[in-house]
Structure 1
Amino acid sequence: MKFFTSVPKKLNPFYKIELENYEIELNKGNLNVAWNHLERAHIIVQKYPFAHTEVHWKMLKFGLKIKNSKEVIGQIPRLIFGGVKSFVGKIPIGNPGGANVPPLKSFEISEELKEVFKKADISLN
């Protein structure tokens, strides 16, 4: 069994860009675009427990900010268990992480994000 811990150096810049873009769009009030960047960040780092947990924390705070109780309630178990699942390598590939999708369902990864993983030499398996 392979244990994952931190985001690989080649992948980390892509993650950081998504978080920066999230903050920029959030500050502009572009909530849908901001959320999309959080989902992309989640897909990029869901294998890595600390970053995965960080994204769920940001999703929880986003839910509080927009007063979306479904998102807040949905993020609590994801915040608790998401990092643990990442640590042992049991994650649903491509899952965007929001409470609007089943937490254990895999999704197709966009071509753009597949290219991110390719550039970072990261296998999607």
Structure 2
Amino acid sequence: MTLYTAIPKKLKPFYTTELSKYQIAYAQGDLAGAWYHLERAHIIGQKYPYAHTYVHWKMLQFGIKIKNRKEIIGQIPRLIFGGVKSFVGKIPVGNPGGANVPPLKTFPIAHDLQEIFAKAQVLSN
């Protein structure tokens, strides 16, 4: 099994697009939309330690901004261990990354995200 630390060049535009959409939605006061895009960025980047850790950092910041104690407390261990889990290849595929879901539970990957992985020619698991 080949492990990667940085997100592949073919996948990175999809990841950065989700992060940009997060910022736009947040700036417009669309908190649900902002969170949706953070979750999608998490799923796209969770296999790659830097991208994975960065999304958890953004999720922690989001929790702080909206004063959501559960999210803040839930993101701290995810921030500490998420990148490590990616580095050793032990990620819960499809997990959206929020404190509202078990951190080790796998989830089905949405069809459009599966298409993104196919376009980027990378495996989601």
> Which TM-score applies when normalising by structure 1?
0.98
| Other-structure match for 1:57 | 57
Cα distance in 1 for partners of 2:19, 2:124 equals 21
| Structure-1 separation of matches of 2:106 and 2:45 | 14
- Equivalent pairs: percent with the same residue? 69
Shift of 1:4: 2.0
Matched, 1:104 2:104: yes
SS at match of 2:89: coil
Instruction: Tell me the C-alpha RMSD between the 2 structures.
Output: 0.7
Note the residue ranges of structure 2 that are not aligned, 5 or more in a row. none
* Secondary structure, counterpart of 1:103 in structure 2: coil
> Residues 43-122 of structure 1: matches in 2 within 5 Å?
43-122=43-122
Task: Give the total of aligned pairs.
Answer: 125
Taking the aligned partners of 1:70 and 1:116, their CA distance within structure 2 comes to 31
Equivalent position amino acid for 1:77 in 2: P
> What is the distance in 2 between the residues matched to 1:102 and 1:23?
25
Q: Equivalent residue for 1:14?
A: 14
Q: For 1:38 and 1:30, how far apart are their aligned partners in 2?
A: 12
Q: Which runs of 4+ in 1 moved over 6 A?
A: none
